[in-house]
Amino acid sequence: MEGRLANAWRLTVNDKNFIKTALLSEIRIDGRKPFEYRKISIKFGREDGSSEVQLGQTRVISIVTAQLVQPYRDRPKEGMLSIFTEFSPMADPSFEPGRPGELAVELGRIIDRGLRESRAVDTESLCILAGKFVWAVRIDIHILDNGGNLVDAANIAALASLLTFRRPECSLGGEDGQEVIVHPPEIREPLPLMVHHLPIAITFGFFNNESILLIDPTHNEEAVMNGRMTTTVNANGDICAIQKGGGEGVPQRVIMQCLQLATSKAASITKQIKDAVEAFNTERALRKIKRHPTSTGVDVREKQNQ
Amino acid sequence: MEVDREDGRSQNQLRPLACSSNILHRAHGSASWSQGDTKVLAAVYGPKAGTKKNENPEKACIEVIWKPKTGQIGKLEKEYEMILKRTLQSICILTVNPNTTTSVIIQVVNDDGALLPSAINAACMALVDAGIPMRHLAVSICCCVARSGLVILDPTKLEEQNMKAFAYLVFPNSVHSVLPEGSLSVQGEPIENGIITSVTHGVMSVDDYFYCLEQGRAASTKLSDFLRRNLQQQSTDSSKAG
């Protein structure tokens, strides 16, 4: 297995120096400006609650499922939200299958804090019967291609899939109203989740030289940079989470600059996500309408027989 | 005997196929294969130096990692990994790069029936995209036997659950479109009459099984043509740099 470590991808000294020298003149190797994001494309699968996000060369899919479970004893009226991140060995030759590495755990925690602790998803609306049945929503994020900046891409994918997820409608029944009946989607339209705001994660890269600051690093730049910071902000200007784990020390004014930059980027990314979800919902509604012509066809034939 | 299939297909009709290769940037080879709503993504890394502990170092080794859509990896996923590994071992030329490991990673994007055949087809295309030396390609199909005794091809998930028995079959691809005189024959029979892998679930009679094989073989010719056309298109497009 030691042979596998030898296969891990390493950037050459020449490449690293080239990237650093170019950054001194504010040029990035893919032609972007230091505060420019790569092209974001959000696509959805056939089912509700599955999304695929491409941020430049980084590719992530996110799938949301829900199950009825018993709530925690100290929180009987709240549903649950859990996030599972899978760093698939597909994405990078250095990702090993099995136990998640440091990066995977950190990514999961950042997205978890951004979504759950900022109360972006309303968990009280997930309660069906207090103390007995609540919905546990599970988000599975699979990283397919590591082109750098996995946190931001995974966050956008998680948000997009949460917005298009529909949970089955259920009602209370039985003799004493203690039984929960889950209605299948053909009988009653499934309901969307209540999402209050969209926390967007924006990642910054820091270098030895104080004047170099960039946003949305590619995996080449990630191998060169000396520090990183992920800020999770929403379009209202609220800071949901900031993560800066070690690395290069950075003066205060740079942090403030980053936060201001993050808020403006969050607004444009939020709009992009909402537009994509809007388009998916219209298409979904159209697909449902298309079913009706077959039922009107049957009616016409019956009238002809009469 | 006419059968009423939900999407209006006849008993021998396959779902619309779609595949594309070279879709991931870090992987050495990648392919996406979809049959109707079932969609599978395959990526190949290799050959990498070294083999695992219990593997024969005089040959190349193939490692398969199956990633389900949600949930933890259980016995079913391990079984799929083993079937896929043995199938791919029989089509790859293992003596070319001894003491190396080629990793094939399968990611299930959507499961609507015939999952394992789609995965085998996707893995095959990804191996071609990565340039791993192979003897011939493998095409895979799912045939099932209904309770009425009818044999239908390429079931959806709902159909699979209502069947009496179903079989996943893997055949070597036919070369008729390239060599009209046919391929090599082994003991008087052309090579594409052989079966690489066959996995059955449920109870079926011997006659039903042989009928499944016939139908599967006929469908595999169509699949081979589709695969070949796609691969030829990819090679005429710009080549992968680096």
A271-286 confidence digits (pLDDT tens): 999 999 999 999 988 8
Model confidence at B185: pLDDT above 70: no
Judge whether A48 is closer than 8 Å to chain B, CB to CB: no
What band does B178 get if pLDDT is binned at 50, 70 and 90?
A: low
Judge whether A91 is closer than 8 Å to chain B, CB to CB: yes
Q: Which of residues 142-171 of A touch B (CB under 8 A)?
A: 142, 144-147
At B140 the three-state DSSP class reads strand
Closest chain B residue to A143, measured at CA: B107
Judge whether B157 is closer than 8 Å to chain A, CB to CB: no
For residue B155, give Cα distances in angstroms to B31, B33, B42, B124.
Answer: 22, 16, 21, 21
Candidates B24, B48, B107; nearest CB to A7: B48
What is the reported pLDDT for B150?
A: 85
| Mean pLDDT, range B151-176, rounded to an integer | 86
Model confidence at B5: pLDDT above 90: no
To test the contact with chain A by mutation, choose from B26, B34, B112, B156 the residue with the greatest count of A C-beta atoms within 10 A, namely B26
Peptide bond into B47 cis (omega under 30): yes
Report, in this order, helix, strand and coil percent for chain B, each rounded to 5: 30, 30, 40
Model confidence at B184: pLDDT above 70: no
Q: Do B65 and A92 touch (CB under 8 A)?
A: no
Model confidence at B162: pLDDT above 90: no
Q: Do A63 and B27 touch (CB under 8 A)?
A: no
Residue A156 · residue A273 · CB < 8 Å:
yes
CA A91 to chain centre: 17
Dist CA A171 CA A177 (whole Å): 9
pLDDT 10s per residue in chain A (306 long)?
444 544 567 889 999 999 999 999 889 999 999 999 999 999 998 888 999 999 999 999 999 999 999 999 898 899 999 999 988 899 988 888 877 888 889 999 999 999 988 889 999 999 988 888 899 999 999 999 999 999 999 999 999 999 999 999 888 877 777 788 888 888 888 899 999 999 999 999 999 887 889 999 999 999 999 999 999 999 998 999 999 988 888 999 999 999 999 999 999 999 999 999 999 999 988 887 765 544 444 434 334 444
First to last CA, chain A: 77
Q: Do B69 and A145 touch (CB under 8 A)?
A: no
Q: Which amino acid is at A128?
A: I
Q: Residue B12: CB partners within 8 Å, gap ≥ 6?
A: B152, B153, B215, B218, B219
ipTM above 0.90, yes or no: no
Dist CA A109 CA A106 (whole Å): 5
Model confidence at B168: pLDDT above 70: yes
Residue A39 · residue A30 · CB < 8 Å:
no
What does the mean pLDDT of chain B come to?
86
B93-142 confidence digits (pLDDT tens): 999 989 999 999 999 999 998 999 999 999 999 999 999 999 888 999 99
First to last CA, chain B: 55
For residue B199, give Cα distances in angstroms to A216, B74, B83, B166, B191.
Answer: 47, 19, 9, 8, 20
Burial class of residue A35, CB neighbours in 10 A (0-12, 13-18, 19+): middle
Q: Do B41 and A144 touch (CB under 8 A)?
A: yes
Percentage of chain B with pLDDT > 90? Answer: 46
The model scores a pTM over 0.95: no
Q: Do B69 and A144 touch (CB under 8 A)?
A: no
Structure tokens that stand for A46 in this block: 């056939």
For residue A137, give Cα distances in angstroms to A64, A67, A68, A166, A198.
Answer: 7, 7, 9, 11, 17
Candidates B25, B27, B70; nearest CB to A65: B70
What is the reported pLDDT for A302?
A: 38
Query: Across the strands, what pairs with A84?
Result: A140
Q: Do B105 and A7 touch (CB under 8 A)?
A: no
What is the reported pLDDT for A306?
A: 40
Q: Do B24 and A89 touch (CB under 8 A)?
A: no
The DSSP bridge pattern shows strands A50-55 and A40-44 to be antiparallel
B48-69 confidence digits (pLDDT tens): 888 888 888 899 999 999 999 8
Judge whether B55 is closer than 8 Å to chain A, CB to CB: no
What is the reported pLDDT for A298?
A: 40
Judge whether B24 is closer than 8 Å to chain A, CB to CB: yes
Q: Do A63 and B69 touch (CB under 8 A)?
A: yes
Q: Do B24 and A90 touch (CB under 8 A)?
A: yes
The DSSP bridge pattern shows strands A58-69 and A50-55 to be antiparallel
Give A146's contacts in chain B (Cβ within 8 Å). Answer: 26
Give A91's contacts in chain B (Cβ within 8 Å). Answer: 24, 26
Q: Residue A246: CB partners within 8 Å, gap ≥ 6?
A: A227
Judge whether A199 is closer than 8 Å to chain B, CB to CB: no
**A to B CB pairs, distance under 8 Å:** 69
Structural element, H or E, at residue A182: strand A179-182
| Mean pLDDT, range B148-160, rounded to an integer | 87
